[in-house]
Amino acid sequence: MDNALIRVVLDILKPHSPSLPSFAMYLSSLDGVDGVNITLMEIDKDTENVKITMEGQDLNYDKIREAIEHYGASVHSVDEVVAGRKLVEEVTTPQD
């Protein structure tokens, strides 16, 4: 396999609907996605701020963004990406 995007962590603002389980199932059905983790960060009257972590062997960021926007949500920021052939975890250094 060539180099590919294998993890993406996104800060998302979404309406209350769809529910988090439905949204996770929808995103996990996208081509190239092996798993989805959604964490609720903040909730208000009309919206939810969530952190979405997606992993797979060949994630397509543009398709992921389109799928998110399809449900009326928006990407606030891309907080982490991992690309290559293997997952590399961030490490703590003495400067941290």
pLDDT in 10s for each residue of the chain, 96 residues: 578 999 999 999 999 999 999 999 999 999 999 999 999 999 999 999 999 999 999 999 999 999 999 999 999 999 999 999 888 888 888 887
pLDDT value for 1: 56
Question: In whole angstroms, what is the distance from residue 22 CA to residue 73 CA?
Answer: 14
In a domain, 33, yes or no: yes
Domain count, the chain: 1
In a domain, 94, yes or no: no
* CATH number of the CATH domain containing 76: 3.30.70.1340
